[in-house]
A and B are shown apart, each in its own frame.
Chain A
Amino acid sequence: MTLINRFFASRWGVVAVGVFIGVLAPVLVKAGNPGNMGVCVACFSRDIAGALGLHRAGTVQYIRPEIIGMVLGALIAALAFREFKPRTGSAPLIRFLLGMFAVIGALVFLGCPWRAYLRLGGGDWNAILGIAGLIVGVAGGVVFLRLGFSLGRSRPAPAALGWALPLLMVGLLLLLIVEPQLGRDADGNATGPIFSSDSGPGSQYAPLIVSLIVGLGIGVLAQRSRFCTIAGIRDFILMRDTRLLGGILALIAAAFVTNAALDQFHAGFDGQPIAHTEHLWNFSGMALAGLAFTLAGGCPGRQFILSGEGDGDAAMFALGMIFGAGFAHTLTLASSSAGHGVYGLAAVLFGLVACIIIGLTMREPKSV
Chain B
Amino acid sequence: MTEMATVDARGLSCPQPAMMTRQTVLKLGAGVIEVLVDTSTARDNCARMAQSNGWSVEIERRPEGEFRLVLRKWST
Residues of A within 8 A of B (CB): 9, 81, 83, 85, 87, 89-90, 145, 150-156, 226, 231, 234-235, 238-239, 241, 243, 297-298, 313, 364
Contacts and interface: CB of A to CB of B under 8 A. Distances in A.
Contacts of B64: 156
Interface string B45-72: 0001100100000000000110000000
A238 B15 contact: yes
Instruction: State the majority secondary structure of interface residues on B.
Output: helix
A231 B16 CA distance: 12
A226 B41 contact: yes
Contacts of B49: 239, 241
Interface of B: 10-16, 18-19, 22, 38-41, 44, 48-49, 52, 64-65
A297 B38 contact: no
B12 A9 contact: no
Contacts of B52: 241
Given A85-B39, A153-B10, A241-B48, A297 B65 contact: no
A239 B44 CA distance: 15
Nearest to A228: B14
Contacts of B48: 9, 241, 243
Contacts of B10: 153
A364 B12 CA distance: 10
A234 B52 CA distance: 17
A83 B37 CA distance: 13
Contacts of A145: 15-16, 19
Contacts of B14: 231, 297-298
Given A239-B18, A239-B22, A297 B40 contact: no
B15 A234 contact: yes
Given A81-B40, A241-B52, A364-B12, 9 more contacts: A9-B44, A85-B39, A85-B65, A145-B15, A152-B12, A153-B12, A154-B11, A234-B15, A241-B18
A155 B49 CA distance: 24
B14 to A, nearest CB: 5
A90 B39 CA distance: 14
B51 to A, nearest CB: 11
Nearest to B49: A239
